[in-house]
Amino acid sequence: MVLKAGFIFLAPGADYKKDHQIVETPGVELHAVGAVDYDDAVKAAKQLEEDGIKAIELCGGFGIIGTAKIKEAVSKDIAVGVVRFDNHPGLKFKSGDELF
């Protein structure tokens, strides 16, 4: 059985409705989605769940608050994980919690 997983990353100007790709391997179908901020990331997470995703990994730009928003947005059946940076290089070396 293939794991359907999602990865949400934060990027200036990203649009979760169009900035996404699917990578398929024998064991994982990974949906990578760009979001401009936490609000868009919440919408993206809900869409991923509707699409049958069972695990969502968040980029290092998500701070504690952003991670909590995603966890609250999806059902308890969806595993949510986070890549960690102290200061994210793609967000001017800040956490999303400082920006969004």
78-100 confidence digits (pLDDT tens): 999 998 766 766 677 887 788 88
Q: What was the pLDDT predicted at 83?
A: 87
Quote the mean pLDDT of the chain.
92
* Confidence band, pLDDT 50/70/90 cuts, at residue 4: very high
Q: What was the pLDDT predicted at 98?
A: 83
Buried b (16+ CB within 10 A) or exposed e, 51-74: eebebbbbbbbbbeebbebbbebb
In sequence order, the 6+-apart residues with CB closer than 8 A to the CB of 61 are 9, 10, 85, 88, 90, 91, 95, 96
Pick from 14, 19, 17, 31: nearest CA to 96: 14
Distance, in Å, from the CA atom of 62 to the CA atom of 9, rounded to the nearest integer, reads 8
57-67 confidence digits (pLDDT tens): 999 889 899 99
Residue 94 one-letter amino acid: K
Question: Mean of the pLDDT values across residues 8-30?
Answer: 96
> Domains in the chain, start-ordered, CATH in brackets?
3-99 (3.40.50)
| pTM, full prediction | 0.86
The DSSP secondary-structure symbol of 13 reads T
Helix (H, G, I), strand (E, B) or coil at 52: coil
Question: Mean of the pLDDT values across residues 21-32?
Answer: 96
